[in-house]
Structure 1
Amino acid sequence: MTAVTPVVKPVSQMQLAPGSAVTIPNVSWQEFESILQELGEHRSARVAYSQGTLEIMVPLPEHEIPKELISDFVKTLLKAMGKRYEPFGSTTFKREGTAGVEPDACFYIQNYQRMIGRRRLQADDPPPDLAIETDVTSKTTLEAYRAIGVQEVWIYESGKLNIYLLSEGIYLKSDISPNFANIQLTQIIPALVERAWQVGSFQALEEFAEAIAQTIK
């Protein structure tokens, strides 16, 4: 009987087309950490890890405009409301031995002071107050956010914004954001993205900034 030798290739050699994702089961935490190091920080792929399942996703090019637009809108909105913040982009957040995830964008709002000047996350740092995803988000990704304890997650997909709030260990859909009370985000953000496709991100943000300023007054 001929022995079969498994073929092992580095994850970094995987060729994934934009918009595709691959799921790898039975990945240990140590293997996850090694894969993160192998992939490096400067890459287009994003990862999510929860309960031994690793997902590697490559966003579509058209995903970049909504990602940047919504992130810029959040900054504009926070400034208009007089709220300070620290943006942490697509930082990899982890719960040791359990979960890891990279949002499209994220913000510290309540905990912004604690994160000022932070160059590397520390073990006792809190999770971000708001995480934003602008592409297909899987069960693995949401499970990772839940395990890490992110209180608010926005998912923008197919022209619709869903707001998820963590309550007693599960995510519940909400029509409003606790961070932006009285702002109809589920209506405003899809309209903002659609407007940006028509007139460009700069003009769309200017128009919505003016409208929000009138609303807050």
Structure 2
Amino acid sequence: MTVLIQSKLSRPIAEQRFLLCDRTPEQYRHLLAALGEERSVRLTYDRGKIELVMPLELHEFSRELIGLFIRILVAELGLKLKSLGSTRLDRPDLDRAAEPDLAYYIQNQPKVAGKTINLNTDPPPDLVVEIDITHTDIDKLNLYASLGIPEFWRYNGQEWKIYALQTDRTYQELSQSPTFPTIEKAQLYQFLAASEQDEIAAEAQLRHQLRSSVISDLQ
């Protein structure tokens, strides 16, 4: 069965989504092979469901700017980073695979620096980000919890939600990021709003705020 998922009327169209149900892992892998690696469509496989997502302008704008926001935080806070982008997080043993909008190693960056990631032997990414402005029928919280992602961010075009993985393999929603505990949600919202007018000026402003905060903490 194929389902075209319509976006909610209250939200702008940012993605086109197609859902394929009752599909086997073999059918998922045949679809991957048919589409090839040089594609704009992102696929998620979750125990028989295949979701195909074609990002549109608003989705890509949000993804690029949230990615830049993270890189600025990492740089200004003196952390380390390995970016995976939308690299497929494939766990055939769990009958699941995901191509997130963004994925990063931060705390575990030293363990994977210079390596090609193998989820059978390497830890999962420390942080995964999904932009879901239109409705998705994939349970992303359950999906990424099963993959062992310690921190998961979701952005729906209006609200940034932060989830931390608990010992029982479920997520707890938090008001602040465990990776960036000094950062307030308002800073991302301000950065995105400023970027709509000028991305370069927004980046300079955010860096200035972060550096001023560090200086203030030292005084």
Q: TM-score w.r.t. structure 1 length?
A: 0.85
Cα distance in structure 1, aligned partners of 2:99 and 2:119: 16
- Where in structure 2 are the equivalents of 1:28-177 lying within 5 Å? 28-97=24-93, 98-119=95-116, 121=118, 123-136=120-133, 138=136, 139-167=138-166, 168-177=168-177
CA 55–142 in structure 1, closer or farther in 2 if over 3 Å, else same: farther
Q: Secondary structure at the match of 2:179?
A: helix
Cα distance in structure 2, aligned partners of 1:108 and 1:146: 16
Structure 2 unaligned spans of 5+: 1-12
Cα distance in structure 2, aligned partners of 1:216 and 1:49: 42
Cα distance in structure 2, aligned partners of 1:204 and 1:74: 14
Aligned-pair distance for 1:123? 2.5
Cα distance in structure 2, aligned partners of 1:70 and 1:18: 15
CA 122–132 in structure 1, closer or farther in 2 if over 3 Å, else same: closer
Cα distance in structure 2, aligned partners of 1:174 and 1:122: 26
CA 143–47 in structure 1, closer or farther in 2 if over 3 Å, else same: farther
Aligned-pair distance for 1:210? 0.7
* Cα pair 1:49 1:99 within 8 Å, conserved: yes
- The aligned counterpart of 2:212 is 214
Q: Secondary structure at the match of 1:67?
A: helix
* Cα pair 1:49 1:100 within 8 Å, conserved: yes
CA 18–38 in structure 1, closer or farther in 2 if over 3 Å, else same: farther
Aligned-pair distance for 1:76? 1.1
1:172-214: CA deviations, max 9, x gaps?
2110111011211x2111211111112x212111111110111
* Cα pair 2:82 2:106 within 8 Å, conserved: yes
Aligned-pair distance for 1:18? 6.7
Aligned-pair distance for 1:44? 1.3
Cα distance in structure 1, aligned partners of 2:147 and 2:174: 20
Aligned residues: 199
Aligned-pair distance for 1:62? 1.9
Structure with greater Cα Rg: 1
Cα distance in structure 1, aligned partners of 2:142 and 2:38: 25
CA RMSD, Structure 1 to Structure 2 (Å):
1.8
Aligned-pair distance for 1:122? 5.0
Task: Detail structure 1 runs of 4+ shifted over 4 Å in the superposition.
Answer: none
Deviates more, 1:204-213 or 1:118-127: 118-127
Q: Secondary structure at the match of 1:118?
A: coil
* Cα pair 1:49 1:144 within 8 Å, conserved: no
Cα distance in structure 2, aligned partners of 1:103 and 1:81: 24
* Cα pair 2:62 2:157 within 8 Å, conserved: no
Cα distance in structure 1, aligned partners of 2:214 and 2:30: 47
Give the share of equivalent positions with the same residue, in percent: 28
